[in-house]
């Protein structure tokens, strides 16, 4: 499937928002919107999927901007959650197309999206996820922390739908710096809570920016 919209420049930080049938709108759309607010700084996020359209868990159909092959060339990849995640990770043809390089790419996974990391063999030793996915990962060697955002090396995980803002903010901070990232998050924060939200985001994101990969790096 050819890209339908060529919105990324040659020198842009290309980000693939992996969006599959049954996806959670909050995970994909919030990350997409926040990340693309840094287009002037060379950031370009695109909805990436299997077919020309994809339908969400609530029946919202949207146009896919990039095919899954885009993942291999992207500088960063985001896996959101969805109601069919366990079906997707058990589809060999789909999983074979997810060619990731944790040494080069920033990789983010939110809620059940963390299951993709596990199936691909790149689950960090320390993670977070949502309460429903947590039992599915309890048998792994990973330490599951009760925090909205946990990073290890180039991989970041987040838990809870509204943690998508922190995940996007972490990726922005890695590329354009923490101050620019926080200015974007403060802009989209609710009126009357902007400074409070920015302070909280600084505390959550800032502590996760320079966490080295632990040994063993992946479970």
Q: Tell how far CA 181 is from the center of its chain.
A: 15
Instruction: Write down the pTM of the prediction.
Output: 0.92
Higher pLDDT, 218 or 154: 154
- Tokens standing for 174? 């890695």
Pick the CATH number of 13-206 from 3.40.50.880, 3.40.640.10, 3.40.50.300, 3.30.70.100: 3.40.50.880
What is residue 204's predicted lDDT score, i.e. its pLDDT? Answer: 98
pLDDT score recorded for residue 2: 46
Give the chain's mean pLDDT. Answer: 93
Coil, strand or helix at 67: strand
The HSE-up count of residue 5 (CA atoms within 13 Å, CB side) is 11
pLDDT digits (tens, 9 = 90+) for 191-217: 999 999 999 999 999 999 988 887 555
Contact 157, 128 (CB under 8 A): yes
Yes or no: say if 35 and 108 are a contact pair by the CB < 8 Å rule: no
Alpha-carbon distance values, 210 to 126, 156, 213 (Å): 14, 11, 9
Report CA 16 to chain centroid distance, whole Å: 9
**Over the stretch 102-137, which tens digit does the pLDDT of each residue have?**
999 999 999 999 999 999 999 999 999 999 999 999
Q: Would you place residue 11 in the very low, low, confident or very high pLDDT band (cuts 50, 70, 90)?
A: confident
Q: Is the pLDDT of residue 6 over 70?
A: no
Q: Which residue carries 């924060």 as its tokens? A: 189
pLDDT single digits (tens) 67-77: 999 999 999 99
Which DSSP string corresponds to 115-170?
HHHHHHT--BSEE---TTTHHHHTTSS-EE-SSSEEEETTEEEE-SGGGHHHHHHH
DSSP assignment letter at 70: H
Radius of gyration of the chain (CA): 16
Collapsed DSSP state (helix, strand, coil) of residue 46? strand
**Alpha-carbon span 200 to 24, nearest angstrom:** 24
* Residue-wise pLDDT tens digits, 144-163: 999 999 999 999 999 999 99
């Amino acid at each position: 499937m050819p890209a339908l919209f060529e919105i990324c420049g040659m020198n842009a930080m290309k980000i693939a928002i992996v969006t599959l049938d049954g996806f959670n709108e909050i995970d994909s759309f919030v990350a997409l919107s926040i990340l693309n607010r840094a287009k002037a700084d060379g950031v370009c996020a695109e909805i990436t999927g299997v077919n020309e359209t994809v339908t969400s868990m609530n029946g919202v159909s949207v146009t896919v901007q990039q095919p899954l092959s885009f993942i291999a060339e992207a500088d960063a990849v985001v896996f959101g959650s969805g109601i069919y995640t366990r079906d997707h990770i058990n589809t060999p043809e789909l999983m074979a197309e997810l060619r990731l390089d944790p040494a080069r790419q920033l990789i983010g996974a939110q809620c059940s999206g963390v299951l993709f990391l596990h199936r691909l063999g790149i689950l960090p030793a320390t993670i977070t996820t949502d309460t429903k996915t947590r039992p599915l990962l309890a048998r792994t060697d990973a330490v599951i922390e009760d925090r909205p955002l946990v990073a290890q090396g180039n991989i970041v995980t987040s838990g809870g739908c509204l943690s998508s803002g922190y995940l996007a903010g972490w990726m922005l901070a890695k590329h354009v710096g923490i101050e620019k990232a926080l200015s974007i998050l403060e802009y989209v924060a609710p009126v009357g809570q902007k400074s409070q939200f920015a302070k909280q985001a600084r505390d959550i994101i800032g502590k996760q920016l320079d966490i080295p990969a632990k040994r063993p790096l992946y479970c």
